[in-house]
Amino acid sequence: MRGARLGRLQASGGSSRRPLAPGGGALRHRLSARRALSTALPNRYVRIEASRIDTKAGATYPTPGHGHDFRMNIFGLLFSVGDINAVQDAVWNDDSFLPNRPAQPIEGGPLADLSAIGGRMAVTLGDGAEPGLLAQNRLRAEVAETLGDEHFVATMDLLQAFKREEDAELKEQLGRRISDVAFWAQWLIRGVLFEGKLHWELFCQVVLVVLVVLVVLVVLVVLVVAGAGGDDAAADAAAVLPGRHPRAAEQDRLRGQRGAGAAPGAR
């Protein structure tokens, strides 16, 4: 079933250079010993193609469909400038930068999981009855356990349905659903990135290793300075150790000098 549905996506005019199966193949990044700072455009799964600026448009700034023509390749499904503008027309108010309506919970199908998780995400929920997923440090686990291949397929089916729909009213409804999916996905992304900081998970394992190495180097420097500079250097090094007051180090130095000047056997 999944292969048949994804096969329809390729048949819609999308690039067939990579398989679309979300569980493997092209969607799994190749592991490499060297990591590039950015992914080359031909290797991106969502990329702009056939971008062309109309240099004869005069002084008008080029915008999508008006002086700038291109298409978006979204995992093999091609969205033209007309498709992109149609989504924007369904979502955004022509007289302002505000959407026509606020985002709504997603109803029906696997994508409803996005708003279901997002609605339980906040630190303090609206009813105040129980803490949200962020407060419980459970959001990342909930996302990992719930979202999977079926949500990817449902998203691609939604984009394809919008692209093919010819009825203006139905197309607008699909455009708003695309907007809702985008909103809840972005909301979950922000929560996933924030959750660790909320619970003081500030450092990853690599950073912790670096910190340990730095501490060891500082200790070695103190020991080297103490060994090369004699008693004075050792006292100076001891003075910077935690819990060691500088005046105590000075007193130790004076005691050493008095002891060295005393006659043998003197007390």
Region at 98 (left for phi over 0; alpha for psi -120 to 50; beta for the rest): beta
Q: Which portions of the chain are predicted below pLDDT 50?
A: 1-33, 230, 233-245, 262-267
Burial status of residue 244 (CB atoms within 10 A of its CB: 0-12, 13-18, 19 or more): middle
pLDDT of residue 39: 84
> Nearest 10 degrees: CA dihedral of 91, 96, 98, 100?
-40
In a domain? residue 35 = no
Query: How far is it, in rounded angstroms, from Cα 220 to Cα 85?
Result: 63
**Is the separation of the CB atoms in 48 and 25 below 8 Å?**
no
pLDDT tens, 185-207?
A: 999 999 988 888 888 876 555 55
In a domain? residue 266 = no
Which range marks the domain in which residue 243 is found?
209-258
pLDDT of residue 188: 92
Query: How far is it, in rounded angstroms, from Cα 220 to Cα 113?
Result: 54
pLDDT of residue 29: 46
Domain shared by 82 and 22, yes or no: yes
Which residue among 198, 232, 249 closes a domain?
198
Domain shared by 180 and 250, yes or no: no
In a domain? residue 91 = yes
Calculate the CA 264 to chain-centre distance.
72
Domain shared by 194 and 224, yes or no: no
pLDDT of residue 119: 92
In a domain? residue 216 = yes
Kindly state the tokens that stand for 29: 């990044």
Query: How far is it, in rounded angstroms, from Cα 18 to Cα 27?
Result: 9
